[in-house]
Chains A and B, each alone.
Chain A
């Protein structure tokens, strides 16, 4: 579904991603782990071209999205993103945040979009917040809404960029529960995370990114229990303590 070929990306002549090659299959739930500064977020942001790769190709359903002729806006509708800092629209209510893109981009009937949004809100227990503005919500609530905002677009892929890193500890659980629920669906998930336990339970594939390279790529079992890679062992030891 997504094929990445020889992807390179640098900032100010500093190479962040070094010749990455990966293939991601439909419905896969992938966790990307790795030390800070290893290029995890940059990698994720290259996938929907929020960052422009220096070289290499990214194929989404066999379409090269790095090709200038590709309408990236159409691709992004099927490949949504959830951010570390939520990035809800501050001038819109919760309901409007969720329905804006379906109504304006997918041209879904307004009423259907609202009903859909309300049933999503109900599932995560935030129906009573539908008319609130983002600034009236807690971090955990905001992130849950941000995830719903992506789901409402009915995408094929959701990219999650450290969705719990900016949350207070007591709120992490409620967000993780939503993502866990999401992982039972058909949607392909690619999640950059520091929550090793979460990665272990949610993902069916874990990628260890270090110094801009894919050092390990395997099932959670292979990565967390049976690795022989010293760098990965060091990293895991550091985190689990």
Chain B
């Protein structure tokens, strides 16, 4: 009996030893951090959030978080890379390993902690309540019967939701953009807005005579701790970031950063904000610092996605249209035709934004090239519409020609190829041109998958210049000019082909 126990003990001991021996070299090898791109620390951020992150005068993302991120990467022996994307997509992208980390003034909440791991806090900020000058917020009761807005996914958003459960008749509204939200407050569409300290102060300067900021302490707003989000699976990276943060926070560099972005920033920006004339606005939003290049870059992204997805949509759509028209010999619809039908109704019955996000976060979650993913998503979407257009065009071809082909001995396929399809496509040209133009406009949502298209450029410039009106108007004009140009060119092609 005693012998047996000894044997067992020896066995366990030796297995533990072997495991150690196997793990040891691995532990030693892990001095280099595992990242999605070797030697690069890829951060996701949302550059509409000055002074944390915004587009600098050179058109690149800059701000407190960015410089901090760079300092962290340096400490870890990595190169920092920042991807500007929609705020809501950052955490899912971290979770799906499209990013190494998220740095966007993110606050730790229990819900967010389900998605990602959070580092120690690197900045503590208060929440502020913005109202029109004539409204006083003294306590929670002051919120009765008010319409309160917050930005989706922010701490303020959580605070407002909690507040709504306690206060009578509080109406909640959610915005994607801070700028539009505060603009709406000024326009009396909202009664109050909850925002973090720095943004509130900036807004107060911009609309000084119209709005005021009240410290969130009056309603016991929790202090907002900004943290960096990491994948839960990459514990080594999280530890590394925490270690780097501890070092940075006790260094001179951290104080310099605070000074540069959190204090002086306000006064410098004050001048920019005070510019009110249209020509002045135009020159800041378009000419100054070569900002027009940003719009053009965005436009290029928009056009690239539109053209690639139009090509995918056209070819796939034509195939789908033909498959949908297949019939069995006894004249019944085939299984393939039914499957195509289901595909078309699902695509047409769901929003393209949802399809894009499913493509980015679920189906192609390992793909890094946003343009490719967006083009595929839009291409698949467009194919469903193109299929219906071409099917209509084919059905409009007079059946007699099909009969004539059959009566001469042509097969179904050659009848389609030589006679029906060329005419069906020609019938479809006007509707296909319309589809191209709506596709061009629909791509305005690709900001959700980290692409800097024309619309995203407008948001970024708006955040950098503290203007909402001019960047949006300029973007609208550019979309209009491009769609107008496209419809003229397509019109010429249409006329040429219909001769």
B418 within 8 A of A: yes
A96 — nearest CB in chain B belongs to which residue? B418
52-66 of chain A: CB within 8 A of chain B: none
CB B331 to nearest CB in A, in angstroms, measures 9
The listed residue (A77, A85, A104) touching B414 by CB distance below 8 A is A104
Number of chain A residues close to chain B: CB under 8 A: 27
The answer for the CA separation of A105 and B407 in the assembled complex, in Å, is: 12
- Given A91-B422, A104-B414, A104-B418, decide whether A153 and B403 contact each other with a Cβ distance below 8 A: no
Contact, CB under 8 Å: B410 / A73: yes
The answer for the CA separation of A149 and B410 in the assembled complex, in Å, is: 14
A31 within 8 A of B: no
The answer for the CA separation of A87 and B405 in the assembled complex, in Å, is: 9
Residues on the A chain within 8 Å of B410, using CB:
73, 101, 104-105
408-451 of chain B: CB within 8 A of chain A: 408-411, 414, 418-419, 422-423, 426
A89 — nearest CB in chain B belongs to which residue? B419
A184 within 8 A of B: no
A90 within 8 A of B: yes
The answer for the CA separation of A14 and B174 in the assembled complex, in Å, is: 65
CB B403 to nearest CB in A, in angstroms, measures 6
Contact, CB under 8 Å: A87 / B401: yes
The answer for the CA separation of A203 and B457 in the assembled complex, in Å, is: 79
B406 within 8 A of A: yes
Residues on the B chain within 8 Å of A85, using CB:
400
CB A63 to nearest CB in B, in angstroms, measures 15
Contact, CB under 8 Å: B403 / A80: no
Contact, CB under 8 Å: B400 / A83: yes
Contact, CB under 8 Å: A101 / B408: yes
Residues on the A chain within 8 Å of B405, using CB:
89
B399 — nearest CB in chain A belongs to which residue? A87
A155 — nearest CB in chain B belongs to which residue? B408
CB B419 to nearest CB in A, in angstroms, measures 5
CB A88 to nearest CB in B, in angstroms, measures 8
Per-position contact with B for A75-96: 1 when CB-CB < 8 Å, else 0?
A: 1110011010111111110000
Residues on the B chain within 8 Å of A81, using CB:
403-404, 407-408
Contact, CB under 8 Å: B400 / A105: no
CB B308 to nearest CB in A, in angstroms, measures 29
CB B426 to nearest CB in A, in angstroms, measures 7
The answer for the CA separation of A86 and B397 in the assembled complex, in Å, is: 14
Residues on the A chain within 8 Å of B400, using CB:
83, 85-87
Contact, CB under 8 Å: A48 / B423: no
- Given A89-B419, A100-B418, A104-B418, decide whether A153 and B401 contact each other with a Cβ distance below 8 A: no
Residues on the B chain within 8 Å of A76, using CB:
406-409
Tell me the interface secondary structure of chain B in the complex: helix
72-129 of chain A: CB within 8 A of chain B: 73-77, 80-81, 83, 85-92, 100-101, 104-105
Contact, CB under 8 Å: B408 / A80: yes
CB A187 to nearest CB in B, in angstroms, measures 15
Contact, CB under 8 Å: A89 / B408: no
The listed residue (B397, B403, B422) touching A50 by CB distance below 8 A is B403
CB A97 to nearest CB in B, in angstroms, measures 9
- Given A89-B419, A91-B423, decide whether A83 and B404 contact each other with a Cβ distance below 8 A: yes
Per-position contact with A for B357-400: 1 when CB-CB < 8 Å, else 0?
A: 00000000000000000000000000000000000000001101
Residues on the A chain within 8 Å of B398, using CB:
87, 90
The answer for the CA separation of A77 and B406 in the assembled complex, in Å, is: 9
Q: What size tier do the contact residues of chain B reach?
A: 10 to 19
The answer for the CA separation of A75 and B398 in the assembled complex, in Å, is: 24
B426 — nearest CB in chain A belongs to which residue? A91
Contact, CB under 8 Å: B401 / A90: yes
The answer for the CA separation of A104 and B398 in the assembled complex, in Å, is: 22
Contact, CB under 8 Å: B414 / A89: no
- Given A90-B423, A104-B414, A104-B418, decide whether A50 and B407 contact each other with a Cβ distance below 8 A: yes
Contact, CB under 8 Å: B403 / A83: yes
Per-position contact with B for A213-240: 1 when CB-CB < 8 Å, else 0?
A: 0000000000000000000000000000
Residues on the A chain within 8 Å of B409, using CB:
73-77, 101, 105, 153
The answer for the CA separation of A153 and B407 in the assembled complex, in Å, is: 11
The answer for the CA separation of A104 and B415 in the assembled complex, in Å, is: 11
CB B211 to nearest CB in A, in angstroms, measures 65
Residues on the B chain within 8 Å of A92, using CB:
419
B330 — nearest CB in chain A belongs to which residue? A52
113-149 of chain A: CB within 8 A of chain B: 146, 149
Residues on the A chain within 8 Å of B404, using CB:
81, 83, 87-89, 146
Residues on the B chain within 8 Å of A104, using CB:
410, 414, 418
A146 — nearest CB in chain B belongs to which residue? B404
Residues on the B chain within 8 Å of A75, using CB:
409
Residues on the B chain within 8 Å of A89, using CB:
401, 404-405, 418-419
The answer for the CA separation of A150 and B401 in the assembled complex, in Å, is: 14
Residues on the A chain within 8 Å of B397, using CB:
90
Residues on the B chain within 8 Å of A159, using CB:
407
A153 — nearest CB in chain B belongs to which residue? B408
Contact, CB under 8 Å: B419 / A91: yes
A86 — nearest CB in chain B belongs to which residue? B400
CB A50 to nearest CB in B, in angstroms, measures 6
A101 — nearest CB in chain B belongs to which residue? B408
CB A240 to nearest CB in B, in angstroms, measures 31
B425 — nearest CB in chain A belongs to which residue? A91
B407 — nearest CB in chain A belongs to which residue? A81
CB B318 to nearest CB in A, in angstroms, measures 16
Residues on the A chain within 8 Å of B418, using CB:
89, 100, 104
Among A75, A87, A153, the most chain B Cβ lie within 10 Å of the Cβ of A87
Sample of 5 further A-B pairs with CB below 8 A, known A86-B400, A89-B405, A91-B419: A73-B409, A76-B406, A81-B403, A81-B404, A83-B400
Across the A-B interface, give the 9 residue pairs with the lowest CB-CB distance, nearest first.
Answer: A87-B400, A87-B404, A77-B409, A81-B407, A76-B409, A73-B409, A101-B408, A91-B422, A91-B423
A: which residues have CB within 8 A of B?
48, 50, 73-77, 80-81, 83, 85-92, 100-101, 104-105, 146, 149-150, 153, 159
Could you write out 30 A-B pairs with CB less than 8 Å apart?
A: A50-B403, A50-B406, A73-B410, A76-B407, A76-B408, A80-B407, A81-B403, A83-B400, A87-B398, A87-B400, A87-B401, A88-B401, A88-B404, A89-B405, A89-B418, A89-B419, A90-B397, A90-B398, A90-B423, A91-B422, A101-B409, A101-B410, A104-B410, A104-B414, A105-B408, A105-B410, A146-B404, A150-B408, A153-B409, A159-B407
B: which residues have CB within 8 A of A?
397-398, 400-401, 403-411, 414, 418-419, 422-423, 426
